[in-house]
Amino acid sequence: MIVRAVVLTLGLGFAWLVGVANREESRPGFFGLAQWLVLFGLAVLGGSMVLDGELVGLAVLTVVAGLTFPWAVARTWLIPRGHWRSAWFLVRSSAWTWHDDNRGGALVAAAWAAVRAGGPPAALAFVERRCERSDCGAAHLLATGLVAAARGDLEAARRWIGSLCEFTGKASPQMARRLALQWIAADAATRGAWSQLAQLDADRDVDAATAALIAVARRFVGAAPIPTDAELETAWRSVPQRAQFRALLDRALQHQASPAAPNSVVRATPVVDRDPHRAALVAHAHLLSHPRPDRVELVAVAQAWDRALADQAFTHRTQRRALELATRGDPIESLRARLDADLVEVARTARMVLGEDSAVARGTLGRVRRTLGQRLLDELEVVADALKTRVRTRRALAIHEEWREYLTLRGTYQSAVAMTGPVLQRLAFPCVNESICALAVWLWNDRKNRVHAHQMFRWLLSEAEKCEDAEAIALHRRNVECGR
C-alpha cells in the first residue's frame, strides 16, 4: 500500500515536472507527449484501483484529469473562484494550451484569479515578483496589466494589455493574445468606446466573445461591413456566456444601422451676441464649465475671441482703460497670453485633437496649436532624454519596468502626434527613435530580452515608415530581420 502510494505520488510529481519543462513552439512537443504518456499510465493504474474497489483510485483519476487538462480546470473552477495559488500551480504544467510559455500562462492564471478574488496583496506581490525576472515572455504583460486592474489602475492596465495585442507571430503565446484581445474588447464595451472596439481588426486570435462584441460595435457605429441581424444572431450564439449578452444583442438588433459619415471638417457654431467681447466670455465660460469639452467648442471660443480682438470698440476701450490705470504693458497682448494659456490647458486636459492647419496659422487657434505643439515636444524630449541617459549609464530595471518606460515614452509620443499632426511627428520621431533604439539594442545585445527588443524595433520601423525617415527605415528593417 505504502509502496503504491509512493509510486503514485512520484508519478504525479514527475508528470507535473515534465509539464513544467515544456516550452515548445509547436504542440505536442517532446515534453507534452512524455507528460501524456506518464499520465496515461497513472490513469490506467487509477482505473484498475477503482475496479478493485479502492476509493484512492478516484482521487488518482481526479488529479490525473487535472494535470491532463490544467487550463480547462483552472479556467472553469479555480480562476472564477479566485484560487490564485492552485491556478498558478496547475497551469505551470500546461503542455497544450500554454505549450509555448506555461511560465507566463501560470502568471496570467494567478493574476486573473487575483482579480476575481478582489486583489489580495499576497497574490499581487507574488505575480509582480515573478514578472521582475529577466526571462519573462510576452504573457507577463497580460499578468502585469491584470495586476494593475486589480489595483484599480485601469488606464495602466489598458496600456499593458493593449501592448500585448501588438505582438505577432511566435513572440507571444497564442492564448495570452486571445485573452488580451478579449479583455481590451470587454473594457471598451464597458466604457461605451464602440468606435475603438469596431477598429479591432479581425485577428487570428479573436475568440467568439470578442468577435461578437466587435460585431455589435460595428453595428452601433455603422462601420463597414455592418453586420446584419442574422450575422449578429450567429455571432451571439457562438458565445459561451450568451445568456448574459442577450440584452446587448437586443440593443444591437434594435439599433438602426447607417454607414458612418466620412470624416469632415467640423465647423464651429458662432455664439451670437451684439457685443463680441461678451460673446467671447460666454463661450469661454461654457468651455471651462463643460465636463468634457470638445474640439468644436474650443474652435468656437477661439473664433469668438478673434472677433472680439478684431472689434475696434473693444480694443480701444481696453487700451484707453490701460492708459487710465497707467500700465506699462500692452493690455491686448496680456489678454491674448491669458487666453492662450486657458485654451492650451483645456486642450491638453481633454486630450483634444487640434490637428495642424496652415490655413489658420494666424489667430487664436493658430497660436494655441503652436504653443501646444511646442509644449508637447518639450515634454517628449524630457521623457526621451531621461530614458536615453539611463540606458547610457546602464542602470537596468526589471524587464516589465523597462517595458513600462517604453510604453510611457511611446504613449507620450502618440498622444502628442494625435493632438497635433504629421509636422510634430517628423520633429518628434528622431528623439523618440534615438532613446527607444538605444534601449532595444541594450536589451537585445546585453540582456538577451529579444522578444521585447524585437517588438520595439517593429514599432520603430512602422513609425519610421510613417515619417519617411529613410535612414531609420533601413536600420530598423535590419534590426527586425535579426529577430525573425
Partner 1 sequence: MNAVERWAGNPFFVLELAVTASRAEVERAGQKWLAMLELGLARAAIYTTPLGVRARTPELVRTAMAELRDPERRAGHEPWCLLQEPASVIDPPESTASEGEPGFDAMGPLQWSRR
| Residues near partner 1, by CB under 8 A | 79-82, 112, 115-119, 149, 182-183, 185-187, 189-195, 209, 213, 220-221, 241, 244-245, 247-248, 251, 255, 266, 269-271, 277-278, 281-286, 288-289, 294, 296-297, 300, 318, 321-322, 325-329, 331, 334-335, 338, 341-342, 345-346
CB of residue 301 vs partner 1: minimum separation in angstroms? 9
Nearer to partner 1, 331 or 411 (CB): 331
Please choose, from the candidates 484, 464, 483, 482, the residue with its C-alpha nearest in 3D space to the C-alpha of residue 474.
464
CB of residue 255 vs partner 1: minimum separation in angstroms? 7
Q: Is 340 helix (H, G, I), strand (E, B) or coil?
A: helix
Nearer to partner 1, 286 or 370 (CB): 286
Contact 112, 79 (CB under 8 A): yes
CB of residue 287 vs partner 1: minimum separation in angstroms? 9
Contact 84, 123 (CB under 8 A): yes
* Euclidean distance between CA atoms 398 and 131, whole angstroms: 8
Residues 6+ apart with CB under 8 A from 444: 450, 453, 454, 479, 482
Cβ atoms within 10 Å of 210's Cβ, excluding its own: 24
Helix axis angle for 229-237 and 246-254, nearest 10°, is 170
Burial class (CB in 10 A: 0-12, 13-18, 19+), 195: middle
Nearer to partner 1, 288 or 423 (CB): 288
CB of residue 119 vs partner 1: minimum separation in angstroms? 8
CB of residue 327 vs partner 1: minimum separation in angstroms? 5
Nearer to partner 1, 305 or 429 (CB): 305
Alpha helices in 81-193 (DSSP H): 84-91, 102-116, 121-131, 139-150, 154-165, 174-191
Nearer to partner 1, 189 or 417 (CB): 189
Helix axis angle for 174-191 and 102-116, nearest 10°, is 30
DSSP string, 184-213: HHHHHHHHT-HHHHHTS---TT--HHHHHH
Dihedral sign of CA atoms 61, 66, 69, 75 in order: positive
CB of residue 43 vs partner 1: minimum separation in angstroms? 30
Nearer to partner 1, 171 or 308 (CB): 308
* Euclidean distance between CA atoms 432 and 412, whole angstroms: 10
CB of residue 343 vs partner 1: minimum separation in angstroms? 8
Nearer to partner 1, 19 or 227 (CB): 227
Q: What share of the chain is helix, strand, coil (3-state, %, to 5)?
A: 75, 0, 25
444: its cell numbers: 537585445
262-280: b (≥16 Cβ within 10 Å) or e: eeeeeebeebebeebbebb
Nearer to partner 1, 22 or 182 (CB): 182
CB of residue 145 vs partner 1: minimum separation in angstroms? 11
Burial class (CB in 10 A: 0-12, 13-18, 19+), 144: buried
Nearer to partner 1, 132 or 379 (CB): 379
Nearer to partner 1, 216 or 387 (CB): 216
Nearer to partner 1, 2 or 265 (CB): 265
Dihedral sign of CA atoms 237, 240, 243, 248 in order: negative
